[in-house]
Amino acid sequence: MDRDLIFDILGAVQRIDQVTVAEVIVAELCTCLQRYGFTAGLITRLPVPHDKHWFEQIIVNSWPRSWYEHYNAQGHYRHDPCAERSRRTVDPFFWSELTNQPLGRRSDVVMHEAAEFGLRQGLCVPIHSPFASPSVVTVSGEFINLPPATIPVVETLALHAFRAIQRSQNGKHDPGAPILSGREREILQWTSAGKTAWEISCILDISLHTVNTHLKNVRYKLGAANRTHSVVEALRRNEIQL
């Protein structure tokens, strides 16, 4: 794992943690992602498609105003393929994955008109939590340049922004007490150094299954979406050090 990249992500996470206003948090998220071409973002819960008041579920919106007003006036939410897919998957996806496959006529119109308003490409990060409606963080721009291997970076920042907004609205903060075991910290420390699970199993003389089980437990304890997110969250909580 690239340490310079980890420092960049951790710096972005710390900047997000310094603000408590939802609009500023999303602005910071978009600033962090500008290098990839992202310029606009939307964080919203996802009610059923026929909900005419879906916009009341928006948590924060930095879409261009002209596109947001047009989107609502045309009733696009009901036919938005990004919203539809985000309800049924937990994996991030590019908008292009939708436009490269057959869509219904109205869904095709949604994507085509988004491009006309300067949101030609984008990425959705679905969020599914127990006892809560599905949500999504979607970031977009005219042209984005995001290598697939970098998706965990965007996913990490998107999830952190979402949770930072939740904490600011609920007045809750992360507990400071360590929650990882010594072995979990040891394995995550090696992960932050760029070692694969197989390499860690050899270094620590334990099975590959044991390493992967510990990493799975770490993700659960930290509420992380991927290994990059686990490392960043552990660093943020001072569970490990670089």
Give pLDDT tens digits for 184-228: 999 999 998 889 999 999 999 999 999 999 999 998 888 888 888
Give the pLDDT band of residue 175 (cuts 50, 70, 90): low
Give the C-alpha separation, 64 to 173, whole Å.
32
- The per-residue pLDDT for 87 is 95
Give the pLDDT band of residue 181 (cuts 50, 70, 90): very high
Give the C-alpha separation, 29 to 165, whole Å.
12
Give the C-alpha separation, 1 to 6, whole Å.
8
Enter the CATH code of domain 3-170: 3.30.450.80
Enter the CATH code of domain 182-236: 1.10.10.10
Domain spans, the chain? 3-170, 182-236
Give the pLDDT band of residue 2 (cuts 50, 70, 90): low
Q: What is the pLDDT of residues 8-30, one digit of tens each?
A: 888 888 888 888 888 888 888 98
**Amino acid, res. 97:** E
> 3-170 and 182-236: same fold?
no
37: left (phi over 0), alpha (psi -120 to 50) or beta: left
